Every structure is written in C-alpha cells, then in structure tokens.
Chains A and B, each alone.
Chain A
Amino acid sequence: MTPASGSRSVRTIWALTFGGAIVWMAMIFLAPWLAARGAAGAARVLYAVFAPVCHQIADRCFLLYGHPLAVCGRCLGIYAGVMAGLVLYPLIRGFSRPALPMARTFALVTLPLALDGLAGILGLWKSPIELRFATGVLWGAILPFYFVAGLADLVRTRRERLAARDACKKPPGNIE
C-alpha cells in the first residue's frame, strides 16, 4: 500500500468516526427534546439505546427543557471529549502515521476519572456533575487516538493480506 493511499484511508476513517460521533451526540440531546415536545415513544427508544452504556440516573444528568439528557454528566463528558479529540487528531497526529498513544499518557488521563469514580462507589465523596463532566472530557479526548489508529491499522493489514493472496494466485510467468 502506498503512503498516499494509507493517508487517505486514515482520513476516511477519521471522517466516518467524526460523523458517527456527531450523530451519537445529537441522539443524546434529541431524547429530552422529543420528550419535551410530547413524542414520548420516540424519546423512549432513544433513552433505551443508551441504557446499556449508562445508568441514566436523572440526578446525575444535565437537563434540557426540563428533561434529563440520554446519558449522565460523566458519559456526556466522555463523548464531548471524543469530539474534542477528533478535532485535535489531525493537528496532533496528522493522517500520515497512525500510531497508538503511550501507555503512560493513557494512565495519566485515566487517573482522575478512575479516582473520582472509585471514590464515588466507595462513598468517600459525591463529586459535582461538573467535575464528573470534566474528568470524562479528559479521558474521552484520548480515545479517538486509539480508535482511528486501530481501525486504520486494521484496514491496512487487510489490504496487505488481500494483496499477498492475489500475488500468490497469479500464474507464474514463462521462463525462457
């Protein structure tokens, strides 16, 4: 695979991920908007979509039109962080070299969220929703650097394997 086509596939994966993230965020805000407009059935479907990944306890959610968002403040922070990470991705990493972040960086951004979450579970403190949001943003911002690089690598290895298989299938040329 040429560097140009590799860069193109990273760009495509980045664009698709960005599009998916925008749709995902829109659904989070759409649920309370629909509930406020009386479309209870459609709102319920959207709330149900997010149920496997969030507790959706209203006390821990930001409100929109008097209704809780489809995810809690921490999850909203994570998704907002993913959006921010996707915006920063071309500036920090560029499209030519998809590399994973260092384990040390991952530990650094995970620590605040892990400490806040653990302390909440153990009942040591009840952090305000703004702090949950902020720790979520920090953690979420690193995720696109894994996701985009990982999928780009997957596409690259698949293409290389297919190219190698095609090369094996070609009949040998005449030897004079």
Chain B
Amino acid sequence: MDPQKPDYFRPALMAGAVAGLLSGLPIIGTGNCICCLWIVGGAAMAVKLLAARTRALLTAGDGAIVGALTGITAAVVDAIVSIPLRSFNMDLARRILDKASEFGGEMPAGLDDILNNAGVFSPGWFLIGLFISAAVFALMGALGGIIGVSLFAKKALPPAAPPQTPPGPPDAA
C-alpha cells in the first residue's frame, strides 16, 4: 500500500460496523437521537484510525469521504442488526409510549398504526428505510469525518530524516 495515499475503506468498515451495531441495539441505539451521536462519533473515530495508518496529512475532504463511507456502512449494519430485534424494539417502544401517555404525554400522529404494522417484515419497506438511513447517515458521517479531521488529524508532517551522507575519507592529519 502506498503510505501517502489514504486507504479509506478499512477504517470506514471498522468504525461503521461498531457505529451500526450501537445504532441497532435497543436502548443504546437511542443515542442517535442526540445529534446522530453514534454516526458522527463513529465517523470521527474512523478519521482517528485513518490518521494513525496514514503518513500524509489528512484534508477535510479525506474526512468527508471516510465519514460518508462510515455512515453508509453503519446504515447497512444497523438495518441487519435491527431485523431480529424488530419485535423486541416495537414492544419496548410501545411500553415507553404507554408509560408516557399515563403521565399525560401525547402520542405522535398515527404512531399506533405504525407500531402495529412495524412488527411485520416487508422487503420493500426494509429497502426504502435502508436507502433513507444510508442517505441521512452518509451526510451525518461526512460531517463527523470533517469534525474528526479538525480534532484528530496531524497538523504538520513530522520533520524528514536528514539524508545519510557517505562516510568521508579519514582525516589525514
């Protein structure tokens, strides 16, 4: 691998898998409700991994690319993790909303229908949801990647080692 050319894919896959897993898990996944925490944080971590593996200075553009790739990876992993947890997540959401309505909270419009239908897996809705998530997560990931560059990327290249000079002839003193 050329050390001067950043390898975006490996850091994006690693950080994206972790961010997607955290996003797909019940309760922990709600962290994304705070400014897409797992996606933005995952993209910033991907930049940190990339900075550790690359000798060249990373630009904001590099951060945007690796962040967007991290977001797309996270969307795919999130969607896959969510399939077996779908019914559990719906039960949990229903219990939380029932509890909220006991305290006089208002349910979002049409949420009851959504909860009733969401337990049933439909490939069409799965793909539409994946597409929307991938687009939103890619944007948020790009943002996280650019923020990551400003936080974690090297500010200057390390000084180059001085060129080795061949040993000269011994002094004939």
Binding site for B on A (CB under 8 A): 32, 35, 40, 43-44, 47-49, 52-59, 61, 67-68, 72, 74-75, 78, 98, 100-103, 106, 113, 117, 139, 143, 146-147, 149-151, 153-158
Contact = CB atoms under 8 A, between A and B. Distances in A.
A13 B33 CA distance: 27
B100 A150 contact: no
B61 A53 contact: no
Interface residues of B, number: 36
Given A55-B33, A57-B100, A154 B60 contact: yes
B54 interface: no
Contact of A154 (B34, B65, B109, B113): B65
A147 B143 contact: yes
A52 B39 CA distance: 11
B30 A158 contact: no
B151 to A, nearest CB: 5
A54 B33 contact: yes
Given A48-B114, A55-B30, A146-B143, 15 more contacts: A47-B108, A52-B32, A52-B132, A53-B140, A57-B108, A58-B105, A58-B106, A59-B100, A74-B34, A98-B60, A100-B149, A106-B147, A151-B64, A153-B60, A154-B60
Interface string B138-162: 0010110111011100000000000
Nearest to A151: B64
**CB-based closest 4 A-B pairs:** A154-B61, A150-B146, A150-B60, A153-B60
B136 A52 contact: yes
A103 to B, nearest CB: 5
Contact of A146 (B36, B114, B150): B150
A155 B110 CA distance: 42
Interface of B: 30, 32-36, 59-65, 100, 105-110, 113-114, 129, 132-133, 136-137, 140, 142-143, 145-147, 149-151
Given A55-B33, A103-B151, A151-B64, A68 B109 contact: yes
B35 A78 contact: yes
Question: Which residue of B59, B64, B110, B145 has the most chain A CB atoms within 10 A of its CB atom?
Answer: B64
Contacts of B63: 150
A26 B62 CA distance: 31
A151 B62 CA distance: 10
A44 B64 contact: no
A40 B111 CA distance: 11
A61 B147 CA distance: 28
Nearest to B150: A100
A67 B107 CA distance: 10
A67 B106 CA distance: 9
Contacts of B147: 106, 146
